[in-house]
Structure 1
């Protein structure tokens, strides 16, 4: 196991920059997830860690050793790819053992590594099968097993669950997290799915357009997003964002661009006179007879909760209610907004306002 330090790393394709000075410190044994939309640079950064992409400038250190010029095989990392990359003509056991055979390991050494890894991943009864005889989840576990037997300092995962169906993704998330808890190997994991990031990571790195927008624990990013991008990306359904200003005659009132009044809690002094964005999580609203009126557009019952899309003035907002909402589209509901759960952002810079 080892720490990973990414220091002012940049990547250009010709004159076009795609990674624009990234700094990330990953502690020994930490599970870090790089998350962001397609094209943000997260997979490129992972490939630079693996040695599959050249680093234009900056340093990558694994265990305090600069690895910029080391080939992938000398970095003591193991990578799990999105497409499994299994050899179709090899059995599960042979796929898992392949890297060890390349290193010249003896049959006894291979057995000593493969059997325990197969047991950890629930593959012991599948060792004689070929990839075509396995389900998607089983193939992904084989790919993980192939990485485990190498006993690397760092695991790298490149969107490993994106080819699986929704139910299998949920179970595989738990398996990967459980695996990390057992092995405690430093792990860097790339995904565009913020639910994966929230449920699995010790630390999340939110990327956008080649830069790091915010780094922190999952709930830290959820509760205190640094800017509008993080606020809109972390959380499902996404945070509602409404433009307006604080009422100068009453600091407890936020007035939207079309005149709707919403409550706010403590208002930072920096909010005075500025155009703001009022950030409101869908669960920050509860049904209340004397609350703010919303016109229902769509109701999405999920069983344990109701998701409602509604109009607040001219804006469209998402609400999540724990109770079942028995209304039809076009009808009006009233909600109470929790002022303590509100986020305020500078509309010009996009940055969160802090006291």
Structure 2
């Protein structure tokens, strides 16, 4: 196990910068997820850590040792790819043992490590099968087993669940998290799925356009987003955003574009005259017969809850209710806002104004 540090790491393809001075500290044994939209640089950063991409600037350190110029085989890492990358002509056992065979490890050591990894991953009865005889989830376990037998300082996962169906992704998320708790090996995991990030990570790094937007625990990012990008990216359904301005005569009120007067958690006299965004997560909107009137646009029942999109405050706003609601598009409902959970952002800078 080892710490991992990115210190002012940069990467350019020709004159085009894709990683723009990234700083991340990963503690020994931490499970850290790099998350962001496609093209944000997260996979490039992981490949630089693995030694598969050259570094244009800065330093990457594993266990305190600078690895910028080290080839992948000398970095003591193991990587699990999105496409499994299994050898079709080899059995599960040989796929898992391949790196040890290349290193001329003793056969007894190979057998011991393969059996240990197979036991952890539930593959003991499948060691004689070939990849074509396995399901997608089983193939992903084999890819993980191949990484485990190497006993590396750091595990790297590059969107390993993207090729699985929704139900299997949920199961594999739990398996990978349980595996980390058992092995306690430093893990860096890349995904574009913020639900994966929220449910699995000890710490999340939110990336956008080659930069780190915010680093924190899942609940820190959910409850205290630094800016509009993090607020909109973390959480499903996403945070509602309503544009408006502070009432100069009553700075505890934000006046939305359509004139709706929205309550704030405290007075914001310092924000008077600025274009603002009023942020509120869907679960902090409740039904209230004497509250704001909102027109129903879309109803999305999911079983245990109902998501309703309404027109409110000059925007389309998502509400999440646990109640069974008999309502149709075009009708109105009355809603109340939990103002204690309102976020206020500066529209120009995108930064959150502290409550």
Structure-2 residue corresponding to 1:74:
74
Structure-2 residue corresponding to 1:127:
127
TM-score (ref. length: structure 1): 0.99
Structure-2 residue corresponding to 1:343:
343
Structure-1 residue corresponding to 2:209:
209
SS at structure 2 position matched to 1:70 = coil
**Aligned equivalents of 1:258 and 1:311: distance in 2?**
11
Measured against aligned partners, the alpha-carbon deviations of 1:50-88 in whole angstroms (never above 9, x if no partner) come to 000000000000000000000000000000000000000
**Aligned equivalents of 2:313 and 2:200: distance in 1?**
38
Asked if structure 2 preserves the Cα contact closer than 8 Å seen for 1:232 and 1:238, the reply is yes
Measured against aligned partners, the alpha-carbon deviations of 1:177-204 in whole angstroms (never above 9, x if no partner) come to 0000000000000000000000000000
Asked if structure 1 preserves the Cα contact closer than 8 Å seen for 2:242 and 2:313, the reply is no
Larger mean Cα displacement after TM superposition, 33-42 or 307-316: 307-316
Structure-1 residue corresponding to 2:94:
94
SS at structure 1 position matched to 2:18 = strand
**Aligned equivalents of 1:71 and 1:270: distance in 2?**
53
Measured against aligned partners, the alpha-carbon deviations of 1:4-37 in whole angstroms (never above 9, x if no partner) come to 0000000000000000000000000000000000
**Aligned equivalents of 2:35 and 2:157: distance in 1?**
12
Asked if structure 2 preserves the Cα contact closer than 8 Å seen for 1:268 and 1:354, the reply is no
**Aligned equivalents of 1:238 and 1:313: distance in 2?**
17
Asked if structure 1 preserves the Cα contact closer than 8 Å seen for 2:240 and 2:318, the reply is yes
Corresponding position: 1:158 with 2:165: no
The change in CA–CA distance for 1:294 and 1:279 in structure 2 (over 3 A counts) is: same
Shift of 1:269: 4.5
Asked if structure 2 preserves the Cα contact closer than 8 Å seen for 1:246 and 1:271, the reply is yes
Shift of 1:313: 4.2
Structure-1 residue corresponding to 2:240:
240
Asked if structure 1 preserves the Cα contact closer than 8 Å seen for 2:246 and 2:268, the reply is no
Asked if structure 1 preserves the Cα contact closer than 8 Å seen for 2:242 and 2:314, the reply is no
Structure-2 residue corresponding to 1:324:
324
**Aligned equivalents of 1:270 and 1:234: distance in 2?**
27
Structure-2 residue corresponding to 1:144:
144
Corresponding position: 1:265 with 2:265: yes
Corresponding position: 1:12 with 2:39: no
Measured against aligned partners, the alpha-carbon deviations of 1:212-251 in whole angstroms (never above 9, x if no partner) come to 0000000000000000000000000011111101112222
**Aligned equivalents of 1:42 and 1:267: distance in 2?**
39
Q: Which runs of 5+ in 1 are unaligned?
A: none
Asked if structure 1 preserves the Cα contact closer than 8 Å seen for 2:296 and 2:308, the reply is yes
SS at structure 1 position matched to 2:310 = strand
Structure-1 residue corresponding to 2:275:
275
**Aligned equivalents of 1:58 and 1:213: distance in 2?**
18
Shift of 1:261: 1.3
Corresponding position: 1:298 with 2:306: no
